[in-house]
Amino acid sequence: MDFQLDSEQEALRDAVRALLTKAYDTSETRRAVTKQDPGWDDKTWRQLAEMGVLGLPFAEEDGGMGAGPAEVAIVAEEIGRVIAPEPFVEAVVLAGGLVAAAGTAEQRAEILGAVAEGGLVPAFAHTEPASRYELTATGVTASGSGDSWTLDGVKEPVLGGARADLLIVSAAVDGGTGLFLVKPDADGLTRTGYATFDGGRAARVAFDDTPATPLGEAGADQSDVIAATVAQAQIAYGHESLGAMETALRTTTEYLKTRKQFGVPLMTFQALTFRAADMYVSLELARSTVSWATLVLLDASTGSTSADEVAEAASRAKLQVSKAGRHIGQEAIQLHGGIGMTAEYSVGHYMSRLTAIDHALGDGRHHLNRLVSTLGDHSVVDPLP
Amino acid sequence: MKLQLSDEDAAFREEMHTFFTTQIPQDVRDTVAARRELSKEQIVASVQAMNAAGIAVPNWPVEWGGKDWTPLQRHIWHEEMQLANVPPPLPFNASMVGPVIAAFGSQEIKERFLPKTANLDIWWSQGFSEPDAGSDLASLRTTAVRDPSTGSGGAGEYVVNGQKTWTTLGQYGDWIFTLVRTDPSVKKQAGISFLLIDMSSPGVTVRPIELIDGGHEVNEVWFENVRVPAENLVGEENKGWDYAKFLLGNERVGVAPVGSTKRTLSQAKEYAKTAGPGGTSLLDDPLVAAQIADLENEILALELTALRVVANSADGKPHPASSVLKLRGTELQQAVTELFVDLAGPLALASGAGEGSDVPDLARVATPNYLNFRKASIYGGSNEVQRQIIAGTILGLRG
Ligand SMILES: Cc1cc2nc3c(=O)[nH]c(=O)nc-3n(C[C@H](O)[C@H](O)[C@H](O)COP(=O)(O)OP(=O)(O)OC[C@H]3O[C@@H](n4cnc5c(N)ncnc54)[C@H](O)[C@@H]3O)c2cc1C
């Protein structure tokens, strides 16, 4: 097992880091950006596009860079380090990933090329008010045949749903869950956007006899595609969280070194330094599981790991990150005292972002439940397939 | 980045698996699987089977029986051993005194001790801790005063006085490696030497300490005017603290018990399948199932961290994150022993049951094991000491 990055991957990391730390030099910059709709910065998005980041996971013939999960992981981690609000995981990995996996050749070329260039930002409209973390759609139904379909029902909360240039909508079809493309100006589409606690944006998206184009084969059940793409996004979110946890810990240790009370730096108090040590332990354990999940995903492209194995690895990563994120986020604030509670200071935003990621695509308890369902199938968990 | 083992490492893993599951005496493996205490003879037999195959001390220099394995291969060796219910080679010999002698001893002392140490012909005890020197080991008070006028060969003798304690399996010990104060006039770390003492010397007394599980695992060792030939000094006089730090660094890596914890959890899960009322499965109890699934995930994270650490450790030097392994490894080891007690439920009370009892053996040993393993977060540098290392060395938080 080899966790090391090669030199090209290191170069990618350094380039993305340079771009993002410049764009989000202080938490005030990020705060200013997230105050205005759409909650992220178009200029930064364009720069990421110029760097090739937005087309990273897509095939070259579709207008992408043909890179893999390792490169996606690198970018997601850098996004997390500064909690950049740009929707890399949501728009590129998840929504783009669905198009890459389910779309026809024409759809892929048309949509993914535009995503890679930064001109088209898609969103995956899947969660329904009553769906919790289920991957099937029930509240939005599709009817029609051939190329002529309409959707009815409500999706909410849809991350990035108000600003999206294209919605990829999951909807109940005969025999399962299909995927459909809906244009922003479609008839009978109502989008009501609002801010989320982490500075992001979500929307209520209502469909009333709304015309939609099937993504890929008309009327087909796309459950497998959804499950596989969601697993990729879960792992990418894991990396985004790693970046955020690392910064939250570093910010906290810096504070313990500089903040003085009782005439001495806070790091004089072992009650605090031991808690920082435990945060480090949580971070390293999460890093191990998330990086491993990426290795499992990498092997799926050669067929040496199955879709089920990837999904399980994603659940394992999501569970570990859920626990670590709560631990590190909560302690980061506590060890700062009052300043950690303020919107002006950074650590609270890190906790908010970690909480948002935790509750997108399944929190720790949800994934623990999934792992429980296969508990009896193995005697030990072997990290090698 | 790559998930799969290389073909070479996969073959190595298979080779280790085959060796440990076929070449170690079955009664040894059965005793470990039953979570019962091994006898001295069983421990010796197991080590000697490994040594005959040349794999008892892979971490030593090759000329003294070591292997030029990669850190990953060493990890695989250790894991496969534990998964096969094979006890790791006696740590006092294999990971403590052996590497110190190999690194710092004279040629004469190496030849005298290393082959017998590898083969467990000499059983070593660790004589570091004292009643007033635990985590603050350097404050130790056992003295060794050099008497140049006596002894053979003109090198003189040390006269040792003092008390060591917590000496694990000292009742089996042939020799004890000690830290002794040879210069009381300097800073405490600077006056310590690393001295090898024959436990059959006049003036050495070993007294048992009973632990909370009722077992006799540790001892007090008293030294009263014990005369030790000066050639039993390892390395230089008053340099013992450096050697001890080297040893404790190795110890930290050695005590991250991933494989055995994984195996014990799998055993607990198997036990749970019929431990419910009327022989039903406790895995159908959502709280039990969630706890086991969560522990499996935590152990996976630990194992993967161990793999990351071995992949990144510069030769010989323990990776700073090895403190994470000790800290988390012992926490999980303890969590699994605790789980076993909960699974045994009321049967956990039957620890003293003998022949004719209807209580399964694994339920009988659950609580003594649970109590016994409270030690894991105390020895090998307590978990508080590990947190101190993480905070200070890794995070730069110095109080
Ligand atoms: C079963 C068992 C087997 C052992 N076998 C051996 C052996 O074979 N040979 C040998 O030499 N020793 C052995 N030891 C001794 C072991 O190394 C010591 O117990 C250990 O170093 C702790 O020392 P102590 O027990 O004196 O506790 P103390 O050092 O007195 O510690 C008491 C408590 O205070 C904490 N503490 C201490 N210092 C600090 C600090 N600076 N900051 C925060 N917390 C602190 C400790 O973590 C612990 O929780 C064994 C111990 C046990 C329990």
Q: Which DSSP helix (H) or strand (E) runs through A176?
A: strand A176-182
Residues of chain B above pLDDT 90, percent: 87
- The CATH number assigned to the domain holding B177 equals 2.40.110.10
Cβ contact, residue pair A319, B302, below 8 Å: no
Residue A305 in contact with partner chain B when CB distance is under 8 A: yes
* Closest partner CB to B2 (pick from A1, A9, A371): A1
Confirm if A212 and A141 have CB atoms less than 8 A apart: no
Q: Residue B313 — very low, low, confident or very high, per pLDDT cuts 50/70/90?
A: low
Residue with token string 């995070």: B395
Region for B254 from its dihedrals, namely left if φ exceeds 0, alpha if ψ lies in -120 to 50, beta otherwise: alpha
- Residue B82 in domain: yes
Q: How far is the CA of B193 from the centre of ligand 1 (A)?
A: 20
Q: Residue B323 — very low, low, confident or very high, per pLDDT cuts 50/70/90?
A: confident
Of the residues A267, A270, A278, which should be mutated to test ligand 1's pocket, given the most ligand atoms within 8 Å of the CB? A270
Say how many domains are in chain B. Answer: 3
Domain boundary pick from B67, B89, B111: B89
- With 60 as the cut, is the pLDDT of residue A170 above it? yes
- Looking at B113-117, B152-156, B391-395, which range is the least confident one? B152-156
Q: Say yes or no: CB of residue B220 within 6 Å of ligand 1.
A: no
Cis (ω within 30 of 0) for the bond into B115? no
Residue with token string 């006092």: B92
Give CA–CA dist B3/B20, Å, rounded.
Answer: 25
Residue A3 in contact with partner chain B when CB distance is under 8 A: yes
Q: Residue B317 — very low, low, confident or very high, per pLDDT cuts 50/70/90?
A: low
Q: How much is the pLDDT for B318?
A: 61
Confirm if A171 and A141 have CB atoms less than 8 A apart: yes
Q: How far is the CA of B131 from the centre of ligand 1 (A)?
A: 10
Three-state SS for B383?
A: helix
- Looking at A38-52, A102-116, B242-256, which range is the least confident one? B242-256
Q: How far is the CA of B179 from the centre of ligand 1 (A)?
A: 16
- Residue B245 in domain: no
- DSSP class of residue A144? E
**Residue to test with chain A: of B284, B397, B398, most A Cβ within 10 A:** B397
Q: Which DSSP helix (H) or strand (E) runs through A173?
A: strand A166-173
Residues of chain A above pLDDT 90, percent: 95
| B262 and B349 fall within a common domain | yes
What domains does chain A contain, in order, with CATH numbers?
7-120 (1.10.540.10), 123-214 (2.40.110.10), 223-377 (1.20.140.10)
Confirm if B53 and B19 have CB atoms less than 8 A apart: yes
Give CA–CA dist A368/A373, Å, rounded.
Answer: 9
Give CA–CA dist A119/A138, Å, rounded.
Answer: 31
Confirm if A61 and A208 have CB atoms less than 8 A apart: no
| B321 and B347 fall within a common domain | yes
Residues of chain B above pLDDT 70, percent: 95
Q: Residue B207 — very low, low, confident or very high, per pLDDT cuts 50/70/90?
A: very high
| B334 and B262 fall within a common domain | yes
| B260 and B207 fall within a common domain | no
Residue A218 in contact with partner chain B when CB distance is under 8 A: no
For B135-151, what is the mean pLDDT?
93
- Residue range of the domain that includes B224: 124-236
Give CA–CA dist A297/A302, Å, rounded.
Answer: 10
Q: Compare all CA atoms of chain B with the CA of A69 and give the residue at the minimum distance.
A: B1
Cβ contact, residue pair B1, A376, below 8 Å: no
The sign of the CA dihedral A312, A233, A278, A13 is positive
Q: Compare all CA atoms of chain A with the CA of B296 and give the residue at the minimum distance.
A: A381
- With 80 as the cut, is the pLDDT of residue B10 above it? yes
Q: How much is the pLDDT for B252?
A: 58
| B207 and B321 fall within a common domain | no
pLDDT tens-place string over residues B328-347: 999 999 999 999 999 999 99
Give the residue, by CA position, lying nearest to ligand 1 atom 7: B167
pLDDT tens-place string over residues B62-101: 999 999 998 889 989 999 999 999 999 999 999 999 999 9
Beta strand spans in chain B (E): 124-127, 143-147, 157-164, 175-181, 192-198, 204-210, 216-229
Residue A194 in contact with partner chain B when CB distance is under 8 A: no
Domain boundary pick from B89, B112, B133: B89
Q: What are phi and psi of B77, to 5 degrees?
A: -55, -50
Give CA–CA dist A13/A7, Å, rounded.
Answer: 10
| B231 and B259 fall within a common domain | no
- Residue B243 in domain: no
Tell which atom from ligand 1 comes closest to the C-alpha of B218. Answer: 3
- Residue B113 in domain: no
Residues of chain A above pLDDT 70, percent: 100
pLDDT tens-place string over residues A218-269: 999 999 999 999 999 999 999 999 999 999 999 999 999 999 999 999 999 9
**CA distances, A62 to each of A52, A89, A108, A183, A230 (Å):** 13, 19, 6, 20, 20
Query: What ipTM did this prediction achieve?
Result: 0.95
Using alpha carbons, select from B67, B47, B51, B70 the residue that is nearest to residue B59.
B67
Q: Residue B203 — very low, low, confident or very high, per pLDDT cuts 50/70/90?
A: very high
Q: What are phi and psi of B314, to 5 degrees?
A: -65, 145
Give CA–CA dist A349/A342, Å, rounded.
Answer: 9
Residues of B with CB below 8 A from A269's CB?
Answer: 399
Tell which atom from ligand 1 comes closest to the C-alpha of A274. Answer: 43
For B203-223, what is the mean pLDDT?
97
Cβ contact, residue pair A285, B72, below 8 Å: no
Q: How far is the CA of B215 from the centre of ligand 1 (A)?
A: 19
Using alpha carbons, select from A34, A29, A184, A170 the residue that is nearest to residue A95.
A170
Give CA–CA dist B229/B235, Å, rounded.
Answer: 14
Q: How far is CA A94 from the centre of its chain?
A: 7
Q: Compare all CA atoms of chain B with the CA of A249 and give the residue at the minimum distance.
A: B395
Tell which atom from ligand 1 comes closest to the C-alpha of B380. Answer: 17
Strands A122-125 and A140-145: unpaired
**Residue to test with chain B: of A260, A266, A273, A301, most B Cβ within 10 A:** A273
| B285 and B227 fall within a common domain | no
Q: Say yes or no: CB of residue B167 within 6 Å of ligand 1.
A: yes
Three-state SS for A322?
A: helix
Using alpha carbons, select from B254, B248, B226 the residue that is nearest to residue B330.
B254
Residue with token string 């036990």: B271
End-to-end CA distance of chain A: 11
Q: How much is the pLDDT for B149?
A: 85
Q: What are phi and psi of A193, to 5 degrees?
A: -90, 155
Cβ contact, residue pair A298, B1, below 8 Å: yes
For B10-24, what is the mean pLDDT?
97
- Residue B247 in domain: no
Q: How far is CA A300 from the centre of its chain?
A: 20
Q: Say yes or no: CB of residue B135 within 6 Å of ligand 1.
A: yes
Q: How much is the pLDDT for B236?
A: 97
Of the residues B129, B210, B389, B398, which should be mutated to test ligand 1's pocket, given the most ligand atoms within 8 Å of the CB? B129
| B206 and B258 fall within a common domain | no
Give CA–CA dist B231/B241, Å, rounded.
Answer: 18
Tell which atom from ligand 1 comes closest to the C-alpha of B92. Answer: 8
Q: How much is the pLDDT for A371?
A: 98
Q: What is the mean pLDDT of chain A?
A: 96
Of the residues B209, B213, B382, which should be mutated to test ligand 1's pocket, given the most ligand atoms within 8 Å of the CB? B382
Q: What angle do CA B268, B273, B276 make, to 5 degrees?
A: 105
Cβ contact, residue pair B263, A1, below 8 Å: no
- The CATH number assigned to the domain holding B353 equals 1.20.140.10
- Residue B16 in domain: yes
Q: Say yes or no: CB of residue B378 within 6 Å of ligand 1.
A: yes
Q: Residue B155 — very low, low, confident or very high, per pLDDT cuts 50/70/90?
A: confident
- Residue B128 in domain: yes
Give CA–CA dist A241/A244, Å, rounded.
Answer: 5
pLDDT tens-place string over residues B249-304: 776 555 468 999 999 999 999 999 999 999 999 999 999 999 999 999 999 999 99
And the tokens for B191?
Answer: 């006056």
Q: What is the mean pLDDT of chain B?
A: 94
Residue A290 in contact with partner chain B when CB distance is under 8 A: no
Q: What is the DSSP string of A179-227?
A: EEEE-TT-TTEEEEEEE-TTS-EEEEEEEEEEEEEESSSTT---HHHHH
Residue A7 in contact with partner chain B when CB distance is under 8 A: no
Residue A111 in contact with partner chain B when CB distance is under 8 A: no
Using alpha carbons, select from A291, A297, A364 the residue that is nearest to residue B293.
A364
Q: Residue B215 — very low, low, confident or very high, per pLDDT cuts 50/70/90?
A: very high
User: Burial of A11 by CB count in 10 Å (0-12 exposed, 13-18 middle, 19+ buried)?
Assistant: exposed
Confirm if A70 and A5 have CB atoms less than 8 A apart: yes
- Residue B385 in domain: yes
Confirm if B201 and B228 have CB atoms less than 8 A apart: yes
Q: What angle do CA B291, B292, B294 make, to 5 degrees?
A: 65
**Residue to test with chain A: of B300, B331, B382, most A Cβ within 10 A:** B300
Q: Where are the alpha helices (DSSP H) in B2-125?
A: 7-22, 26-33, 40-52, 71-83, 91, 98-104, 107-118
Using alpha carbons, select from B304, B336, B262, B287 the residue that is nearest to residue A365.
B287
Give CA–CA dist B300/A317, Å, rounded.
Answer: 10
Q: How much is the pLDDT for B254?
A: 53
| B50 and B79 fall within a common domain | yes
Give the residue, by CA position, lying nearest to ligand 1 atom 37: B135
The sign of the CA dihedral B38, B42, B48, B53 is negative
Using alpha carbons, select from A239, A203, A20, A347 the residue that is nearest to residue B1.
A239
Q: What angle do CA B181, B186, B189 make, to 5 degrees?
A: 60
Q: Compare all CA atoms of chain A with the CA of B289 and give the residue at the minimum distance.
A: A372
Q: Say yes or no: CB of residue B129 within 6 Å of ligand 1.
A: yes
The one catalytic residue among B236, B251, B270, B355:
B251
Q: Which residue has the higher pLDDT, B194 or A303?
A: B194
Concerning whether B37 is annotated as a catalytic residue, the answer is no
Residue A271 in contact with partner chain B when CB distance is under 8 A: no
**Residue to test with chain A: of B260, B304, B313, B325, most A Cβ within 10 A:** B304
* Closest partner CB to A284 (pick from B2, B4, B321): B321
Q: How far is CA B233 from the centre of its chain?
A: 23
| B185 and B223 fall within a common domain | yes
Give CA–CA dist B246/A317, Å, rounded.
Answer: 35
Domain boundary pick from B183, B206, B236: B236
Q: Say yes or no: CB of residue B382 within 6 Å of ligand 1.
A: yes
| B265 and B390 fall within a common domain | yes
| B265 and B387 fall within a common domain | yes
- Looking at A72-81, A350-359, A363-372, B74-83, which range is the least confident one? B74-83
Residue A256 in contact with partner chain B when CB distance is under 8 A: yes
Q: Say yes or no: CB of residue B219 within 6 Å of ligand 1.
A: no
